[in-house]
Amino acid sequence: MRTAFAHEEPDRVPLDYLANPGIDARLKQHFRLASHDDEGLRQALGIDFFEVIPPYIGPPLHQEMPDRKIDLWGIRTRWVEHPAGGYWDYCDFPLRDAGVEEVARWPMPSPDDFDYQGAVALCKAHASYALLVGNPGAGDMINTAGMIRTMEQVLVDLKTDDPACLLFMDRKNEIQLEMLFRTLEASRGAIDILWLGEDLGTQRGPLISKELFRKHLRPRHQRFVDLARHFGIPVMMHSCGSSSWAYGDFLEMGITIVDTLQPEALNMSPAYLK
């Protein structure tokens, strides 16, 4: 992993692992592992990374609903069956039509309500891995806002500078920046990489214009990159689809690692990227 991130040729490609519950269960069954044996699956797959997440210890923020999962941001999902299993799909979109006042009142977690010593314990227990703090939803604006406001509305919001949508993004970012800062400070150099996310492409091209990216997304992402620089660690940006159009900006910002790479998307083949 460190060889690859130093821009030298490693003996193999570094591997991370994320999967929906159905795929995860089938992989564990294949390797004859217990359903809760996440470590066993990481070992079986030769995974190099471990994501450090400070456990949430605060109060419930959103009322439970039948047939729904609701996360800390109030994003709702419902179970959708398909022939190979199923997945939790985004639904209801409670802030679709919300204005500034409703977004300002919307319950969000406090950085005080996370167990940072619990994150330190995770670092110690998984010290053999490359340790990541953050995730594809850290600093992410289009996707996360789309999950609670609809993707179509968020794309319109970005184009029209909608203050309610931008407030949702900024409130979430402020909380995540403080959480990441406290996690990195508590871990005392144990964490290797800050992981951000922002899906910027479809299969056929950019999701938004470069001008719109530079106006709304890049300045907000830069604060996360600067945080990583403060702690002397690199930044990895998760971006699905055809996103190589933004890599020049990433490099200018100080982002030197990207995941994931979809080779079938436009301008994303390994040869093109090399």
At residue 221 the predicted structure's pLDDT band, cuts being 50, 70 and 90, is: very high
Q: What is the per-residue pLDDT for 2?
A: 77
Model pLDDT for residues 222-247, shown as the tens digit of each residue: 999 999 999 999 999 999 999 999 99
Q: Which of 166, 68, 143, 62 is nearest to 107 (CA)?
A: 62
Averaged pLDDT, 166-174: 98
Question: Given this model, what pLDDT does residue 21 score?
Answer: 86
Residue 209 pLDDT: 97
pTM exceeds 0.85, yes or no: yes
Separate counts of helices (H) and strands (E) for the chain: 12, 8
- The chain-wide mean pLDDT, for the chain, equals 96
Q: Over the stretch 101-138, which tens digit does the pLDDT of each residue have?
A: 999 999 999 999 999 999 999 999 999 999 999 999 99
Residue-level pLDDT at 120: 98
DSSP output for 37-104? -HHHHHHHHT--EEEE-PPB-S---S---TT-EE-TT--EEEEEEETTEEEEEEE--TTTT--HHHHH
pLDDT of the residue at 185 = 98
- Give the domain ranges of the chain: 48-58+95-273
Q: How confident is the model at residue 173 (pLDDT cuts 50, 70, 90)?
A: very high
Does a cis peptide bond (omega within 30 degrees of 0) precede residue 160? no
Query: What pLDDT was estimated at residue 214?
Result: 98
- Say what the pLDDT of residue 3 is: 86
Q: What is the pLDDT of residue 147?
A: 98
The confidence score (pLDDT) of residue 13 equals 85
**Location of structure tokens 């910027």:** 200
Mean pLDDT, rounded, for 20-29:
92
Q: Distance (Å, rounded) from C-alpha 235 to C-alpha 173?
A: 16
Structure confidence by residue, pLDDT tens digits, 137-157: 999 999 999 999 999 999 999
Give the mean pLDDT of 94-107: 98
Tell me the pLDDT tens digit for each residue of 32-91.
Answer: 999 999 999 999 999 999 999 999 999 999 999 999 999 999 999 999 998 888 889 999
Q: What percent of the chain has pLDDT above 90?
A: 89
Residue found under tokens 């639904």: 91
Distance of alpha carbon 105 from the chain centroid: 24
Per-residue model confidence (pLDDT) at position 139: 95
From first CA to last CA, the distance across the chain in angstroms is: 18
pLDDT at residue 193 greater than cutoff 90:
yes
Cα distances (Å, whole numbers) of residue 255 to 38, 77, 100, 211: 29, 31, 32, 19
